[in-house]
Amino acid sequence: MAVPDQPIGWFNPEKPHKPHNNKRRPPTARQKRAQVSLDDGWTVVTSSSTTATRIPTEGTSAHAHPKLPQEEGLTVQKLQQEYERYTEIFRASECARTVEEVLKRPRREEDVGWGIDTAVCVGLGQLSVEAAVRRRAMWQLVLFLHVVEGLQGLGGGGGERVKISAQEPNFTALDEELLKGLGVEVVAHPRGAEMVTERTFLYAPFLPWYVLLRDVLPGKDPRLYVGIDVHEVQERVELQKGRYRLEEVGDEELEECLQVARKFLEGRQRVRVGEFEGERNALEGLWVYWREVEEG
């Protein structure tokens, strides 16, 4: 997934909020929303007071983008070799050391290997596009599986292997073949978010903040999370919400997103993954979040 170059991408400064009318309006009942299925695989959510909003149905994603052309002549064997080469480079990096130090933090005795039994990746992006485009997604895949390998090396879910899944609407058949060979099950929306429990490692590399807070994290408490900085998202959106109209979500949804962010941040520690020397922009902006073990 692409990460915005500037935070300004979260809102549109050309559409400031209109001044409030001083006249008091009578309270209105909350509008019920109706869902209407369309022929293109999406569902429209409508109400009498809001503009229709498209949400994904099975096999699509709220952050879906058009698929890019697959690289001509690319094979799963070539992708596998590329993944192995990237993995070797990453294992020698400072980014790898940062993640490994987090995984070595002391846990409760009953939480062997953090007690994690599932690893879910949401929003990885295509892997079988031309080399210049897929490099970032490949590095992100390497980081994901490096963490999983570390968890399993520590005992996984109490001695069991961690179940690994990935959800991305733009995966090609070649992508899925590569992932299957790496032990990753590809699932369709919304299965990825549904799989997240308190014993999950959730990986969301540069997932749009409103997708993460609106569609993935509500009601979830993953034990380990690697993705965009939820703390920074909360601070920036809190600052901007009264000044600009955020185009991605309405005012009511925005407050719900902020509540999800606040709840997620309670009792959690974080550390920046850091700049990856192998590819400067591949992993920059990612953070590791975990919940501290309560003493006694």
**Has residue 53 been placed in a domain?**
no
Return the pLDDT at 144.
Answer: 98
Return the pLDDT at 154.
Answer: 67
| Residue-number span of the structural domain to which 140 is assigned | 77-291
Return the pLDDT at 68.
Answer: 85
The pTM score is 0.76
pLDDT in tens, the chain (296 residues): 444 443 333 333 333 444 444 444 444 444 444 443 433 333 333 333 333 333 333 333 334 456 788 889 999 999 999 999 999 999 999 999 999 999 988 666 555 668 899 999 999 999 999 988 899 999 999 999 999 999 987 654 444 589 999 999 999 999 999 999 999 999 998 899 999 999 999 999 988 999 999 999 999 999 999 999 999 999 998 888 777 666 777 888 889 999 999 999 999 999 999 889 888 788 989 999 998 766 54
**Has residue 140 been placed in a domain?**
yes
Return the pLDDT at 179.
Answer: 98
Tally of structural domains, the chain: 1
**Has residue 130 been placed in a domain?**
yes
**Count of other CB atoms within 10 angstroms of residue 27:** 6
**Has residue 245 been placed in a domain?**
yes
**Has residue 31 been placed in a domain?**
no
**Has residue 233 been placed in a domain?**
yes
Return the pLDDT at 50.
Answer: 36
E-assigned strand segments in 159-262 = 163-167, 185-186, 200-204, 224-227
Return the pLDDT at 58.
Answer: 35
**Has residue 135 been placed in a domain?**
yes
**Has residue 98 been placed in a domain?**
yes
How do 268-272 and 287-291 pair as beta strands? antiparallel
Tens digits of residue pLDDT in 103-134: 988 666 555 668 899 999 999 999 999 988 89
The domain spanning residue 205 has which CATH number?
3.40.50
102 DSSP 8-state letter: H
